[in-house]
């Protein structure tokens, strides 16, 4: 049985439209005009237990709306949705026991309380038996290295510390499914790596099904084999990251460091994207000219110091996909 | 149940930090109490007609009012307001708890902690120096305690309604300015209810507001006899239950329209 099934989900919001100027504001008092925004326009996908899937899309694409429907906070206009066999908004409380949610931009910890008291409060709220709580607590404290933070009030934690505590908080009741909504937003490099490593282990070792929403493409590349791309409320693609990349472009990148930074540079079969001093970025289509062939051509005409061949950055792939989707 | 109880305890621990506010509140209430006692003494001295309450009873009634004022003085719950404004309210729905009771619990803590902080010193000071008498019998004291507990529940149910209105108004300032004034007048905190004209009393006795102040105060004074305590407390509890029912309806409707914004 699938862990999460979503079928043809539709959700629209009514947004009041303001007319500009004083006269417009006055007219708005008497007669409001509304505009309907379709946040989700027939979204379908299925997740197997133990999957870790990246759910990406530009701002306003419908990512958070989907997560909110899956956690029972929002009711869709139409469509079917099952999380572990339950419809989330009909059985919100039962559903809540089996899922964990982390919103990167908010905390679920109690601002004024020391972290450990928030944890104990969550234990009581989720009615976790003491034995199980102790085990989960000890494991999470060790994995996330938050032992020294437990007695600190949440408001005094740094963002990276808080995020680790938030992750622990969302997992104390051992949920089977975890929704991570931009968990690395605003974190420094070290904290990002720690969060990523933790998420990876959680998925591999404990088999927690994870939906990861993010704008950080490094998160996606590091963690997700499967990526669902959503734009304007519709699913644009669903599959492995490599397929996504190949679907957009087959082009590759070549970075050349010239021996002479000021001299002219000639290339044949590749296009110069930009040049900064001695370093030249090129793009080429491997169907037209293979990488060894291109390198041979370039080295024959220019004195070079170093060469790097790479895939186009995932950011660019995504940006191009968004562009094609008209988002 | 354990979830709600822990939640209540946590809220109380947070609120215990606001001791300075309680001290300031105590000072203000002492001052206003003195003024109100003087006003009533002036009235009583200049009137020759027989009054339905003696001046001693009025004095005690006023000090009880000053001690329990916080039950009828609801400010907007700023934490909750921020949560609604920023969408953090979504987290409340992520818990395997009934949102109404979570909010009710919040309000209950919000009433109880400042009440204890202010009422205890007020009883001591007013009892020793300012003419707050003791209940005439142990039965009256027990009846007063029961009615006070019911009043706290009612105040929390009322505060929950105000919190729920934030789902529509976002700021809640208007509600929090108008409602307490109405409640002060109708609960006996401005003028003790027995001093109102008969026609007004008939209306006021049916309304819920007297349950917040007048009912426990008059039980304390023995102005309502302990033998009449049960119907008086039942009046409080029935209205509290009605407010809870209204609150749950409001919440069900309100949550349907809460649009937790975000991409």
Q: What ipTM was assigned to the predicted interfaces of this complex?
A: 0.76
Same domain, A67 and A182: yes
Same domain, A204 and A162: yes
In this structure, are strands A99-103 and A252-258 parallel, antiparallel, or unpaired? unpaired
What's the gap in Å between the CA of A143 and the closest CA on chain B?
A: 24
| H-state helical runs in chain B | 2-15, 19-46, 55-68, 78-86, 89-94, 99-129, 138-169, 173-187, 198-206, 214-221, 229-257
Same domain, A241 and A287: no
| Residue A10 touches partner B, C-beta closer than 8 Å | no
Same domain, A267 and A289: yes
**Residue A323 within any structural domain of the chain:** no
Q: State the residue range of the domain holding B76.
A: 2-257
CA-nearest of B158, B70, B159 to B112 is: B70
Same domain, A216 and A292: no
Same domain, A197 and A265: no
Report the residue from A92, A97, A124 with minimal CB separation from B2.
A124
Report the residue from B3, B17, B262 with minimal CB separation from A64.
B262
What's the gap in Å between the CA of A160 and the closest CA on chain B?
A: 20
Above pLDDT 90, what percent of chain B? 46
Per the CB < 8 A criterion, the answer to whether A254 and A234 are in contact is no
**Residue B89 within any structural domain of the chain:** yes
**Hey, which bits of chain A come out as E strands?**
4-17, 33-47, 52-56, 78-83, 99-103, 177-181, 209-213, 226-231, 234-240, 252-258, 271-276, 279-284, 304-310
**Residue B28 within any structural domain of the chain:** yes
Which pLDDT does position A214 carry in this prediction? 85
* Rounded Cα distance, B133 and B116, in Å: 19
Which pLDDT does position A100 carry in this prediction? 93
Tokens coding A210 = 């994870």
Same domain, A186 and A264: no
**Residue B262 within any structural domain of the chain:** no
pLDDT tier, B263 (very low <50, low <70, confident <90, very high otherwise):
very low
List Cβ neighbours of A78 (8 Å cut-off, separation of 6 or more): A8, A9, A10
CATH of the domain at A174: 3.40.50.300
* Rounded Cα distance, A267 and A198, in Å: 45
Report chain A (327 residues): mean pLDDT per 10 consecutive residues.
89 76 73 80 92 87 87 88 91 91 84 89 92 92 90 90 92 93 86 89 91 86 89 86 76 83 73 83 84 84 83 74 65
C-beta neighbour count of B162 within 10 angstroms:
21
User: Average pLDDT of B142-150?
Assistant: 96
Which pLDDT does position B170 carry in this prediction? 67
User: Phi first, then psi: what are they for A134, rounded to 5°?
Assistant: -60, -45
**Residue A97 within any structural domain of the chain:** yes
Paired residues of B182 in beta bridges: none
Q: State the residue range of the domain holding A289.
A: 250-311
Q: Taken in order A104, A105, A109, A111, is the CA torsion positive or negative? A: positive
Q: Which residue among A246, A272, A289 closes a domain? A: A246
**DSSP structure class, residue A84:** T
CATH of the domain at A263: 3.30.70
What's the gap in Å between the CA of B25 and the closest CA on chain A?
A: 22
Which pLDDT does position A324 carry in this prediction? 67
In this structure, are strands A234-240 and A78-83 parallel, antiparallel, or unpaired? unpaired
List Cβ neighbours of B189 (8 Å cut-off, separation of 6 or more): B65, B69, B72, B183, B213
Per the CB < 8 A criterion, the answer to whether B43 and B3 are in contact is no
pLDDT tier, B172 (very low <50, low <70, confident <90, very high otherwise):
low
Per the CB < 8 A criterion, the answer to whether B67 and B126 are in contact is yes
Paired residues of A6 in beta bridges: A45, A81
**Residue B36 within any structural domain of the chain:** yes
Per the CB < 8 A criterion, the answer to whether A57 and A321 are in contact is no
pLDDT tier, B3 (very low <50, low <70, confident <90, very high otherwise):
confident
**Residue of chain A whose alpha carbon sits nearest to that of B6:** A121
Q: How far is CA B246 from CA B61, B173, B239, in A?
A: 31, 21, 10
Domain total of chain A = 2
Domain total of chain B = 1
What length does chain B have? 263
* Rounded Cα distance, A321 and A167, in Å: 31
**Residue A16 within any structural domain of the chain:** no
Per the CB < 8 A criterion, the answer to whether A253 and A312 are in contact is yes
Between A4 and B20, name the one with better pLDDT: A4
Number of A–B residue contacts, CB under 8 Å: 77
**DSSP structure class, residue B145:** H
Same domain, A169 and A57: yes
With 50 as the cut, is the pLDDT of residue B261 above it?
Answer: no
pLDDT tier, B171 (very low <50, low <70, confident <90, very high otherwise):
low
Q: Break chain A down into helix, strand, coil percent, rounded to 5.
A: 40, 30, 30
CB spacing of A75 vs B2 below 8 angstroms: no
- Provide the mean pLDDT of chain B: 87
pLDDT tier, B262 (very low <50, low <70, confident <90, very high otherwise):
very low
**Residue A302 within any structural domain of the chain:** yes
Same domain, A95 and A198: yes
Same domain, A131 and A96: yes
**Residue B263 within any structural domain of the chain:** no
**Residue A70 within any structural domain of the chain:** yes
Per the CB < 8 A criterion, the answer to whether A226 and A54 are in contact is yes
Whether the full predicted model's pTM is greater than 0.90, yes or no, is no
Q: Please tell me whether residue B185 adopts helix, strand or coil conformation.
A: helix
Q: Which residues of A touch B10 (CB under 8 A)?
A: 110, 113, 117, 121
* Rounded Cα distance, A319 and A316, in Å: 5
Which pLDDT does position A293 carry in this prediction? 86
Same domain, A153 and A284: no
Of the given ranges (A84-98, B161-175, B189-203), which has the lowest mean pLDDT? B161-175
* Rounded Cα distance, B59 and B55, in Å: 6
Per the CB < 8 A criterion, the answer to whether A227 and A321 are in contact is no
Which pLDDT does position B203 carry in this prediction? 92
**Residue A9 within any structural domain of the chain:** no
Same domain, A255 and A182: no
């Amino acid at each position: 049985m699938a862990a999460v099934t979503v079928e043809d989900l539709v959700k629209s919001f009514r947004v009041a439209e303001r007319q500009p100027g004083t006269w417009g504001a006055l007219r708005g008092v008497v007669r409001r005009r509304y505009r309907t925004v379709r946040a989700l326009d027939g979204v379908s996908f299925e997740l197997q237990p133990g999957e870790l899937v990246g759910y990406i899309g530009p701002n306003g694409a419908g990512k958070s709306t989907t997560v909110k429907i899956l956690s029972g906070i929002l009711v869709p206009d139409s469509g079917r949705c099952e999380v572990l066999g339950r419809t989330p908004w009909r059985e919100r409380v039962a559903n809540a026991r089996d899922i964990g949610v982390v919103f990167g931009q908010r905390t679920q910890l109690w601002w004024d309380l020391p972290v450990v008291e928030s944890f104990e409060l969550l234990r009581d709220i989720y009615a976790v038996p003491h034995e199980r709580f102790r085990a989960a607590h000890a494991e999470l404290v060790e994995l996330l290295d938050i032992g020294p933070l437990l007695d600190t009030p949440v408001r005094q934690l740094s963002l990276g510390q808080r995020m680790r505590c938030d992750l622990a908080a969302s997992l104390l009741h051992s949920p089977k499914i975890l929704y991570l909504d931009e968990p690395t937003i605003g974190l420094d490099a070290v904290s990002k790596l720690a969060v990523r490593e933790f998420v990876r282990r959680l998925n591999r070792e404990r088999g927690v099904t994870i939906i990861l929403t993010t704008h950080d493409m490094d998160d996606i590349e590091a963690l997700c084999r499967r990526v669902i791309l959503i734009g304007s409320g519709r699913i644009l693609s669903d599959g492995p990251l490599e397929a996504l990349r190949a679907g957009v472009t087959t082009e590759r990148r070549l970075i050349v460091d010239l021996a002479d930074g000021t001299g002219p540079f000639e290339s044949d079969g590749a296009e110069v994207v930009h040049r900064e001093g001695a370093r030249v970025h090129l793009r080429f289509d491997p169907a037209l000219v293979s990488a060894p062939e291109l390198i041979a051509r370039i080295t024959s005409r220019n004195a070079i110091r170093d060469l790097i061949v790479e895939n186009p950055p995932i950011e660019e792939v995504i940006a191009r996909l968004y562009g094609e989707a008209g988002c | 149940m354990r979830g709600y109880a822990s939640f209540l305890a946590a809220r109380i621990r947070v609120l215990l930090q606001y001791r300075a506010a309680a001290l300031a509140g105590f000072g203000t209430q002492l001052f206003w109490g003195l003024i109100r006692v003087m006003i009533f003494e002036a009235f009583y001295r200049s009137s020759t007609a027989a009054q339905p309450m003696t001046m001693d009873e009025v004095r005690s009634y006023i000090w009880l009012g000053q001690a329990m004022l916080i039950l009828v003085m609801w400010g907007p719950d700023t934490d909750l307001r921020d949560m609604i404004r920023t969408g953090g309210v979504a987290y409340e729905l992520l818990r395997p708890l009934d949102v109404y009771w979570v909010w009710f619990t919040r309000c209950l803590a919000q009433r109880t902690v400042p009440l204890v902080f202010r009422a205890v010193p007020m009883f001591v000071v007013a009892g020793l120096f300012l003419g707050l008498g003791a209940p005439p019998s142990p039965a009256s004291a027990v009846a007063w305690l029961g009615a006070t507990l019911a009043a706290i529940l009612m105040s929390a149910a009322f505060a929950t309604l105000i919190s729920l209105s934030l789902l529509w108004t976002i700021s809640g300032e208007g509600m929090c300015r108008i409602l307490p004034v109405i409640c002060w007048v109708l609960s006996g905190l401005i003028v003790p209810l027995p001093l109102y004209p008969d026609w007004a009393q008939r209306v006021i006795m049916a309304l819920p507001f007297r349950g917040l102040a007048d009912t426990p105060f008059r039980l304390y004074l023995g102005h309502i006899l302990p033998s009449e305590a049960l119907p008086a407390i039942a009046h409080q509890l029935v209205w509290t239950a009605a407010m809870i029912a209204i609150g749950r309806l409001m919440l069900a409707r309100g949550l349907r329209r809460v649009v937790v914004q975000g991409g």
